[in-house]
Structure 1
Amino acid sequence: MLDDALKGQLKAYLERITQPIELVPSVDESEASRDLLELLREIAEQSPKVTLQASVDDARKPSFVIRRTGSEVQVRFAGLPMGHEFTSLVLALLQVGGYPPKLSDEVVEQIRSIDGDFHFETYMSLSCHNCPDVVQALNAMSVLNPRIRHTTIDGALFQAEVEERQIMAVPAVFLNGQFFASGRMGVEEILAKIDTGAARRDAARLSAKAPYDVLIVGGGPAGAAAAIYAARKGIRTGIVAERFGGQVLDTLGIENFISVSQTEGPKFAAALEQHVRQYEVDLMTAQRADKLVPAAAEGGLAEVHLANGGVLKARSVILATGARWRNVNVPGEQEYRNRGVAYCPHCDGPLFKGKRVAVIGGGNSGVEAAIDLAGIVQHVTLLEFADQLKADAVLVRKLQSLPNVTIHTNAQTTEITGDGQKVNGLTYTDRTSGQSHHVELEGVFVQIGLVPNTEWLKGTVELNRYGEIVIDAKCHTSVPGVFAAGDATTVPYKQIVIAAGEGATAALGAFDHLIRTSPPQAA
């Protein structure tokens, strides 16, 4: 299962284990079970502190438990955690073996003090780049608090459970047998949902913070670059964001960031965060801004109000809230979201293995999605509103060469249909003939571009008709002391490298503003 290089890396990692652990499998005669036993044997061979126990009879086969010897600390995997989840496996081995999770003391104490019994189950796919964040967060929580249990389940391997629970998007998390949440989450987001007093305590803690010279709203490439440039000026800098990395976290391959020939979105986001943390930047994640109150006078303090009730103050603000997937806005889309309607083919594609799906959108994202899905599903129907596909010619030629893909141009999607539980089809109108057509299928992937995350700014800063923040050459908005950068703005090309450059420009613009205005007397 593991090549020699990977075994060597794993052996080095397992030297960090301080307490003995046991690998307890549950297997049958299947090929997947044989593969799992081989993987566990190879892991056990890399450290004298790791032992492989005899198989037990668990309901899920193949599965295994990583258990700290003589204690209740354990983590469970159902399936073979390879692919994107191999890192989750390595971290679970280390943390069950006594290596502390990389969490703040405050978060660790909060996890340990939670009262109640929580059994989490996370359904993932090995190709999902969002899933490891959820798996690793819940594994760390279960290691710190034995009353929190977590099982990671490969949805592709346990299709019967996926069908029974009507899971059509990953990661999908269940708590004590009931649906809990879907999508990328970190420890802070999970704690906010299960620790009912956390939001109130968090709001009070945030509101008590001293004013910032520069407060950045958003943690994507633009926000990260702004934070680094601001902090290097020696001014008090803070970032508040729902999640660090932003839209980059939902990007699989990155091959056009200058000096980095190839990487993946989550790795790039992790590198951004690591770089930001090298400076004195107050990083506040799992926080959503919902109101901006500009300074009452020049040199005064602006306020950013958060969804949990907290209020942050700053002499200048940089808005870097990015963008999100655009909805097609037809009947059935919201009703069947995560029940057949999906937005990430890399994450959710394996759940539709052998099924029929549609991709809405003929740009690069849509055509790339259709190509990827064609290797997994039974058939792909691609629908493009315009009279021709807008993707790069090389991608279009590749798509047209695939035998299980049907392409419809001049196709206006009018409805996504379902049986009340999940998607069963899609209706579109041929814009040339006016004739309506219905396609029977099990999944719809929407790939029609982005919409800026600026609804909360309406009436505060000037927005154009697309909802983008209007900025000048120095990234200044219509409000004194408020700057903006990245995909949420009128900058014409939505690219990572451009967003990072705009973030640097915004920080320099904010610094220029600060040195030309007097600090508030009250600060």
Structure 2
Amino acid sequence: MGLLREEDKKYLREEFEKILKDRVRLLLFSSEDEHCIYCKDTRQLLEEVAELSDKIELEVYDVKSDEAKERGVEYAPTIILTDESDELDSRVKFTGIPSGYEFTTLIKDIMFVSTRQLEISDATIQTLQDVKSNLKIEVYVTPSCPYCPRAVLVAHQFAMVSEKIVAEMVESLEFPSLADKWGVMGVPHTVIKNLDKGNVVQFVGAYPETHVINFVKDADEGKEVDMR
């Protein structure tokens, strides 16, 4: 039995046909371990999505493979979205199944990567060119959170623009140990780590991009900010 309804498949197939331009690669890092509760469903979901367009290519790897090590993947399931030439490398990630409201995030990300047409402003794009530190943005979400996709999409678009930024959706119910590390109580909860200087900026809520870019600048400059 499919995870996507037939009417949803029909709609997405038509949208992909109209919108997608360049090929998009979905890299799934999975595991046969019985403790990976959502690995099977994540693979099925991505297979169903990939079947809707010849512009979407699904590649499946074991989470313990060399490919996973090279791309810095530690947890299963993890999804990396990249372009055909892999210019995006491993900068756009989902840790956990993109279900519920986050399925929309997956679909919009595919469209962003394929068309290279983003929703963030030119001013934000220009500011992102000035980021000097290596940053990792983690956005902790739950499938039932209607505000979380907005936060994840902003972070993912930042990573699509800047080679200095990795942006990762983390499903906090699936990975409670990761969420507990940052004291996640409400979602979306965003953690921006400066991998060069060691400082952290974190906040809760789906802020507009004009606010999020300021948080990125704070992180880039080495500031510690905690707005939980």
TM-score by length of 2: 0.79
Residue identity matched to 2:131:
I
- Give 1:63's aligned residue: 78
The correspondence of residues 26-105 of structure 1 with structure 2, limited to 5 A, is 26-29=29-32, 30-57=36-63, 58-73=73-88, 74-105=91-122
Task: State the secondary structure of the residue aligned to 1:83.
Answer: coil
Task: State the secondary structure of the residue aligned to 1:54.
Answer: strand
Residue identity matched to 2:11:
Q
- Deviation (angstroms), 1:179: 4.6
Residue identity matched to 2:149:
P
Matched, 1:141 2:126: no
Task: State the secondary structure of the residue aligned to 1:195.
Answer: helix
- Give 1:211's aligned residue: none
Q: Which runs of 5+ in 1 are unaligned?
A: 197-336, 339-523
- Asked whether the equivalents of residues 120 and 154 of structure 2 are also in contact (C-alpha less than 8 Å), the reply is no
Task: State the secondary structure of the residue aligned to 2:54.
Answer: coil
The correspondence of residues 350-499 of structure 1 with structure 2, limited to 5 A, is none
Give 2:11's match in structure 1, choosing from 4, 9, 17.
9
- Deviation (angstroms), 1:101: 1.1
Q: Residues 2 and 131 from structure 1, CA distance in 2 versus in 1: closer, same or farther, beyond 3 angstroms?
A: same
In structure 2, C-alpha distance between the alignment counterparts of 1:68 and 1:127, rounded to whole Å: 29
- Give 1:170's aligned residue: 187
- Asked whether the equivalents of residues 30 and 60 of structure 2 are also in contact (C-alpha less than 8 Å), the reply is no
- Deviation (angstroms), 1:117: 1.7
- Deviation (angstroms), 1:71: 2.7
- Deviation (angstroms), 1:139: 1.0
Higher relative contact order (CA 8 A, sep 6+): 2
Deviations 1:217-271 (A, max 9, x none): xxxxxxxxxxxxxxxxxxxxxxxxxxxxxxxxxxxxxxxxxxxxxxxxxxxxxxx
- Asked whether the equivalents of residues 75 and 96 of structure 1 are also in contact (C-alpha less than 8 Å), the reply is no
Give 1:181's match in structure 2, choosing from 188, 198, 203.
203
Residue identity matched to 1:7:
K
- Give 1:109's aligned residue: 126
- Deviation (angstroms), 1:94: 0.8
Give the structure with higher Rg (CA): 1
Report % sequence identity: 21
Q: Which runs of 5+ in 2 are unaligned?
A: 64-72, 195-199, 219-226
The correspondence of residues 198-237 of structure 1 with structure 2, limited to 5 A, is none
- Asked whether the equivalents of residues 26 and 56 of structure 1 are also in contact (C-alpha less than 8 Å), the reply is yes
Residue identity matched to 1:2:
L
- Give 1:352's aligned residue: none
- Give 2:168's aligned residue: 151
- Deviation (angstroms), 1:34: 0.2
Q: Residues 195 and 160 from structure 1, CA distance in 2 versus in 1: closer, same or farther, beyond 3 angstroms?
A: closer
- Give 1:451's aligned residue: none
Task: State the secondary structure of the residue aligned to 1:64.
Answer: strand
- Asked whether the equivalents of residues 26 and 63 of structure 1 are also in contact (C-alpha less than 8 Å), the reply is yes
- Asked whether the equivalents of residues 92 and 160 of structure 2 are also in contact (C-alpha less than 8 Å), the reply is yes
Residue identity matched to 2:81:
I
Moved over 4 A (4+): none
- Asked whether the equivalents of residues 31 and 62 of structure 2 are also in contact (C-alpha less than 8 Å), the reply is no
Task: State the secondary structure of the residue aligned to 2:174.
Answer: coil
- Give 1:283's aligned residue: none
- Asked whether the equivalents of residues 26 and 56 of structure 2 are also in contact (C-alpha less than 8 Å), the reply is yes
